[in-house]
Amino acid sequence: MRRFLTVRHDAFPLRAPFRIARGVKTAADVVTVTIRQGDAQGWGEGVPYPRYGETIDGAIAAIEAVRALIEHGATRADIAGAMPAGAARNAVDCALWDLEARLAGTSVATLAGIPPVAALASAITIGIDTPQAMAQVARGVARVPLLKIKVDREGAADQIAAVRAVAPTPRLIVDPNESWRVGDIADRLPMLLAQRVDLLEQPVPAGEDEGLADLAGAIPICADEALHTRADLDRLAGRYSHVNVKLDKTGGLTEAWALATEARARGFGVMMGCMVCSSLGIAPAMLVAGGADFVDLDGPLWLATDRPGGVRDDGGILSPPQPGFWGTPACA
């Protein structure tokens, strides 16, 4: 039976500006894909990221280029061979997973042999601001299990100290988004250890990370921009202790699960992350997050209004979407 593809740009205004070292966002711009076959319809979402040379228009064009392939029954393996890893393929891959599960009358978890999604501790992110403003945000979430602080190069020590002073108990991820250099880590290592930083996420530019090997074991360091697919793991060994798996980098749930599995087998710790997105981007990521050491899936919490039926947060504990939202039967 023939399928029918729909692809569109959706924009979700944020409840507050999201500031990181390389810029600020005021809306989550996503590409939404739906694939219909008979009475069943699957959907998926991708977030094109300028850091990787992606745009909304480019992602839509990439999906349109494989329209005939999709509508004439392409499998997820076919799509992996026809599209490069990235946000466009993520949207298609996740829509195909959802469609396949609905046609089979089961869940994506059952179909993939992945443990069912359960509530899990997920980071609450504090964007870059003055130390005083960041501390004010941190006071409101001081009892969550895991905090993530976005920092820049110049003000990082004060930003981290301000948050830690009012939130002494959560595990702590610090994310400079490639704004530091290797020497900055060495200089700030006593401060990072004193502030009990659990994970330092992509502190240096992805192409300038050779020197991280000299810091191996000093503090856990996670690859984000430096990691996309399994093909990157060889280069990261000895430089990073952890890897941040994101569906928009891997090109969907299929490669994300394979990447997380191989990374663990090779001795890397795993972080499951996301872009600023709606719950449609988080539902498939939660399947991979069950085995992660760190989970950072609070993208939808930044939206002024999420998609109906999406994920729910209660004090840093993220619950999956309502049955029928993505990947589960409506009666689950």
DSSP state of 297: -
Instruction: Give the three-state DSSP class for 290.
Output: coil
Which residues fall within 8 angstroms of residue 10, CB to CB, at 6 or more apart?
A: 29, 30, 31, 32, 45, 278
Tell me whether residue 148 is one of the annotated catalytic residues: no
Strands (DSSP E) found in 170-245: 171-175, 199-201, 221-223, 242-245
Tell me whether residue 25 is one of the annotated catalytic residues: no
Sole residue written with tokens 């009892």: 143
Instruction: Give the three-state DSSP class for 21.
Output: coil
Instruction: Concatenate the DSSP letters of all residues of 42-82 into one string.
Output: EEEEE---GGGT--HHHHHHHHHTTHHHHHTT--HHHHHHH
Question: Which residues belong to the active site?
Answer: 150, 246
